[in-house]
């Protein structure tokens, strides 16, 4: 691979399955090729119940690769297990490693999963993490005292 550190004049990206090769021509006409691959799967995903019927979802970057984006999806009760239907929470994608989903309904179970994205494509989704928002029993209101 030649890298002359000159300005890039032409750039072509070629996708091969899970790999992408970038061919560049610098101002001196030298070819510069860079090989990349899709990011690894996010393996650390946690969901934690917080105040006011909300959930914090956090994950760890799958590698030291800079500038990864993430797609966080969730299931709010449609389907179960492998048949669960997920919808995006982060549109457009986020660079953050934490997300708070608020205003959740007590008595429901929510599932979350995330995947990393770079210029070569996206990783597999992480394993789903599930958390139920339980109802908090209300204290009975005392009857009024009649005298």
pLDDT of residue 109: 87
Give CATH 2.60.40.10 domain extents, the chain: 45-133
19 phi-psi bin (left φ>0, alpha ψ -120 to 50, beta other): beta
pLDDT of residue 3: 47
Asked if pLDDT for residue 114 goes beyond 90, the answer is yes
User: Mean pLDDT throughout 123-139?
Assistant: 80
pTM greater than 0.85: no
pLDDT of residue 133: 82
Options 3.40.630.40, 2.40.33.10, 2.60.40.10, 2.60.120.260; CATH for 45-133 is 2.60.40.10
Cα–Cα distance measured from residue 58 to residue 99, given in angstroms and rounded to the nearest whole number:
6
On the 0-12 / 13-18 / 19+ scale of CB atoms within 10 A, 97 is: middle
* Residues 6+ away with beta carbon under 8 Å from 77: 108, 109, 110
């Amino acid at each position: 691979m030649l890298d002359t550190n000159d300005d890039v004049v032409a750039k072509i990206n070629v996708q091969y399955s899970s790999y992408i090769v970038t061919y560049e021509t610098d101002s001196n006409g030298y070819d510069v090729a860079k090989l990349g691959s899709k990011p690894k799967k996010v393996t650390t995903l946690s969901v934690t119940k917080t105040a006011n019927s909300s959930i914090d979802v956090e994950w760890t970057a799958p590698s030291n690769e800079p500038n990864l984006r993430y797609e966080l999806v969730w299931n709010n009760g449609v389907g179960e297990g492998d048949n669960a239907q997920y919808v995006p929470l982060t549109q457009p994608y986020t660079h953050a490693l934490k997300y708070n989903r608020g205003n959740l309904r007590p008595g429901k179970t929510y599932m979350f999963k995330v995947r990393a994205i770079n210029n070569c494509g996206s990783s597999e989704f992480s394993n789903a993490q599930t958390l139920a928002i339980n109802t908090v029993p209300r204290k009975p209101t005392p009857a009024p005292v009649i005298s």
